[in-house]
Structure formats: C-alpha cells, structure tokens
Amino acid sequence: MRLRDFQALTFDVYGTLIDWETGIIDALRPLTDRLETQPTRDEALEAHARYESAQQRATPTERYSDLLAVVYRRLAEQWRLAVDWQECVTYGQSVGRWPVFDDSAEALRYLKEHYRLFVLSNVDNDSFARSNEKLGVVFDEVFSAEDVGSYKPSDRNFSYMIEQLSTLGIDRSAILHTAESMFHDHAPANRVGLASCHIYRRAGKKGFGATMPPATMPRCDFRFESMAALVEAHRQEELPQRFHTSHHAANSDGLIR
C-alpha cells in the first residue's frame, strides 16, 4: 500500500491539524488558575476527555460550542469552583482561537495538489469556519457533527461521509482517513473498512490526552509524527528507485555509495 494509491484524504481537524490540547489548556486557565493545587496538563486533558465524551453520548445533536460550555461547567463542579454560565459560554466559543500546528497549512497546500481533501470533524460549522481561516485551504467538502447529528466515534459519521464521497465518484477503497485520535477516528475507520493514517502528535507522551482511550488499539496503515512527515513520505514515493537505494545507504552509515 502506498500513499499515492488514494484519491482522497479525509481529515480529523482538532488534534490533527489544530493543536486542540494547547487550545483547551489555554482556554481553561480561568478555572485552573484559581486552583490551589493545579492539575498537570494531562490530568486536565483527561478530565476534559471524560466529560466531553459523556456529553457527546448524552446529547449527540448538541452543537459543539454549546456542548463545550457544559464540559466547562462539569470541570468547574469537579474542581469545586463557582462559575456563571457566561464564563462557560465563553469557553465553548474558544474553538476558533485554538492554534494551528506549525506544519498544517503548508502540508495541506501541498496535499491539495495531489488529492481531494475532506473534513470529518466533531465540531459545529461556525467554529470550524474560524479554524479554517488558519488552515488556509479550501476543502472539497466539510462534514461536521452538526451536519450529521452525531459525534465520532459513531459509525454514523463515517457512513455519512462515505456515502457523500460516493456521489462524487470516490470509492471507499480510494479514501485515506487521516487523524490523531485512536478513539474518535482510527477505531471507527477500522469498523467501516477505511484505510487510515495516524498523525501521532502525542509521540513521546504518555496516555491519550484529550481523547478517551480506545477499547482495543486499532490498526493503522500509515503512521507519521507530523503532517510534514506525511508530505515528505509522499514526495519520496515519486522519486526514482535509484535515489531510494542511495538514500537508504546514506541513512545506514552516513555515506552515499
């Protein structure tokens, strides 16, 4: 299997292209700064993941920004902090301010020259529109949780996307789902028969951060630690075999024969 075997890349956005963990931590500071003993970064992210996942199951049609407001209130309750609803709403509206990973925009510009690009995201449309300004690329289509009426890891979201792409003449076998989250993306991609590419943004860190752990570890067809590494692998696939052989020799002993 090669990267160039596919016609379409379908992207998770938050955690893959947008640095949502940094965005979450920064936007939670009105809470965490008030704590006498502050949680570690991963403790805060893991607590957020638990409340977010529970709320997505309980209210699958709720807009993501509204859902995040509830998550913020749940965290405040856990940490025994008083908050008014407007503070919760402000947190829910922070998604568009979450930073983009440094390599995302350039990588997407390159990939746009070789693939059709789509989004499958647990987000509302207004929040994604603000994030997309930072990504700097026009996706062929965007499939949001608000559109589908459910949240990943529900198979409904993936089935909806696959059906929509089929109307564009793109077969399931021609789709490479590209994402960070094992829980939200790679596990359901396995279930619906999609090839997947893991952008391992948490390489070198313990746990799953802002996502719940999967029940069992899913299979991934490709794994890279950044979008830049994905682009480089794609470039390498088009180079002559003679270069690959020489490059391999250089990597093994520092000399090109």
Rounded Cα gap, residues 234 and 4, in angstroms = 7
Residue that is written with structure tokens 């997407």 in the block: 108
16 class by beta-carbon count within 10 Å (0-12 exposed, 13-18 middle, 19+ buried):
buried
Token pair for 81: 């902090």
Can you tell me whether residue 143 is helix, strand or coil? strand
Rounded Cα gap, residues 44 and 21, in angstroms = 10
Phi-psi category of residue 254: left, alpha or beta, with phi > 0 → left and psi -120 to 50 → alpha: left
124 is catalytic: no
Can you tell me whether residue 118 is helix, strand or coil? strand
Rounded Cα gap, residues 228 and 232, in angstroms = 6
Specify the pairing of strand 222-224 against strand 195-199.
Answer: parallel
What is the spatial order of strands in the sheet that 116-121 belongs to?
141-144, 116-121, 8-11, 175-179, 195-199, 222-224
Residues 5, 12, 42, 185: which is the catalytic one? 12
Catalytic residue annotation? 12
